Structure formats: C-alpha cells, structure tokens
Structure 1
Amino acid sequence: MQPAPLHNFYNNNCVPEATKIGLTEAEAIQICNCTVTTLKQKYSTEAFATLYAQYRNGDNTARRTLTRYGETCSQDVLDNILWEE
C-alpha cells in the first residue's frame, strides 16, 4: 500500500488525467506506476505530501515538477509499447 499522499495522487490525479488526454487505462496505469515509483525514490512521504498539497492548491512549480516526472515515465512506457509490437 502506498503512503496516503502517493495513493491519492495516483488515484485522484495521475490515472484520471492520463486517461483524460487519451491514453488507455492500461497505459495510464503503467505510466502512473512508474511515476509513483520514481517519486517514492526522490521524496520522503512528508516531502511529497507538501509537494502534493502545493499542487492541489494550484502551485505552478509543483504542477510542473509532477508533470515532468509523468512525462519522463510516459516517454519510457510508450517507447516500450511501440517497440514491443
């Protein structure tokens, strides 16, 4: 089980926002698993909770930070999907 802030980010933001832009649910799950794993390696639970709170309050720097992690993972995941076929 993920710590609450990561769990909330995954369920409430990452997967829904990824599917909203046109990814399949399977793609969104792969990308968000990667994103959350990377965030867990970079941030303590407390530090991520602060970043996530800033993101939810509309902070552009926090949004850009989280988006950057998601974009890096999406590139990796989608590259893997393309090369598997």
Structure 2
Amino acid sequence: MEFVGPGVSALSTDFRNSVDVMTAETTCLSSVWQTDEEVHNWLALHGRGQDYCQLNPQPMAYYDGCISVDFKRHQTNDCAAVPPEQRV
C-alpha cells in the first residue's frame, strides 16, 4: 500500500506508524509513505536523522486502484468505547 497526497502531512509519524502496523490485517506486507519534515523530525528525535530519505510518487506512477480519503470529513476517535457505527 502506498500513502501519498496532501493529507499525509496532517498525520503524525506515530499515527502513520500505527496505520503501517494495521496494514498487516489487510494481508499487506508493507506500506510506503510519502516522507516529509514530520518524518525527518521523528527520525532525528530518535537519533536516526541521517536515515531520512525523501520519498514521493513519480509523476508517471500507475496504480491498480486508488482509495481516496478526505480527512476533512472525518474526526479522530481517541477512545473506541462506542462502536464507530454508533457515533453518527
């Protein structure tokens, strides 16, 4: 799975790491994220700033499919005591 676009920069690196771990539940072996200053800062905080590498989709990238999520239409749920379908 590849995660790209302007919405990625709104997500903390810890959130991105959590999503990466959960992709295994979709039988995905790995996920690739567009990198930015947030990732660079996170790596530096953990003493790995030299490992930062800029990753962006290529201009001519082709995909088998795409799922687009509008983050402005969703809110975070810090506590999942209520099933999501009941949070309407």
- TM-score scaled to structure 1, two decimals? 0.33
> Greater relative contact order (Cα 8 A, min sep 6): structure 1 or 2?
1
Larger strand proportion of the pair: 2
Q: Which of 1 and 2 has greater Rg?
A: 2
- TM-score scaled to structure 2, two decimals? 0.32
